[in-house]
Structure 1
Amino acid sequence: MSENEISKVVLDAAFRVHSALGPGLLESVYEAALTHELRKQGLEVETQVPVPVVYDGVKLAIGFRLDVLVEGKVILELKSCENLIPIHSKQLLNYLRLADLRLGLLFNFNVESLKGNIIRLANNLR
């Protein structure tokens, strides 16, 4: 399954989750519900996936965690905040680069309408 095909399934699932739960919950609730929806669709889903940081050939003790990784190809970064701000996109782009992946989706579930609160980012340096 390509990144674009995965993305379509993810978007459909995210809209179902948001329609059912609405805004105002913790990110962890949306993560659990979205993970459930994606697994129902037969997708391989990992949560809180560690991503190491390598600097100057040394794996640093500090690292990051991807909220959700779908099929080992698409990163989902989930937020439940007032507004998405530029640092959220930069964070996802850095995750894509560190994980050497091409596609990520950034969601803000703390909104009345999920439409317009999803950002699709591609890692063009891959």
Structure 2
Amino acid sequence: MMDQRDPQTYAIIGAAMEVHNTLSYGFLEPVYPEALILELSRAGIPFRRECALPIIYKGEVLTCHYRADLICFDAILVELKALKRLSGAEDAQVLNYLRACELDRGLLINFGGAKLEYKRFRR
């Protein structure tokens, strides 16, 4: 069933579910991005990995930058975690990154539990 409201985030979440169904949980965090980029490629989802994004403060670009786990479709920030549970600080992190990088959509995906956990964000 396709999510007509946002088929792009639906497709990314579907790829993450495939990774979680195949690997399950318990690996260290670096394993999941490697597997996810394979699934994104197989699904034809365009992405950039570990790309530096400028931080904009009051219209000025700061000299420091944020390194996104993934940017998909040149529009969706994807933050990946492998935690037993999300604390809420990760939500704030994604929202701050969206605001600072001037992107409108984000996904927080956590591979660390028995069930894949994900959250969609809009700025």
Contact 2:110 2:118 (C-alpha < 8 Å) held by counterparts: yes
Quick one: percent identity of the two aligned structures? 32
SS at match of 1:33: helix
**Structure 2: which amino acid aligns with 1:119?**
K
Task: Give me the CA root mean square deviation.
Answer: 1.8
Contact 1:46 1:68 (C-alpha < 8 Å) held by counterparts: yes
2:75 is aligned to 73
SS at match of 1:15: helix
1:18 is aligned to 20
SS at match of 2:86: coil
Which 5+ residue runs of structure 1 have no aligned equivalent?
none
- Aligned pair count reads 120
**Alignment CA distance shift 1:59-1:73 (3 Å):** closer
Contact 2:70 2:79 (C-alpha < 8 Å) held by counterparts: yes
Shift in Å, 1:60 = 2.6
Distance (whole Å) between structure 2 residues aligned to residue 3 and residue 89 of structure 1: 21
SS at match of 1:52: strand
**Structure 2: which amino acid aligns with 1:10?**
I
Distance (whole Å) between structure 1 residues aligned to residue 62 and residue 101 of structure 2: 15
**Alignment CA distance shift 1:53-1:99 (3 Å):** closer
SS at match of 1:85: coil
Distance (whole Å) between structure 2 residues aligned to residue 65 and residue 36 of structure 1: 20
TM-score by length of 1: 0.86
1:42 is aligned to 44
SS at match of 2:6: helix
Shift in Å, 1:26 = 2.1
TM-score by length of 2: 0.88
Contact 1:13 1:38 (C-alpha < 8 Å) held by counterparts: yes
2:119 is aligned to 119
1:95 is aligned to 97
Shift in Å, 1:73 = 1.1
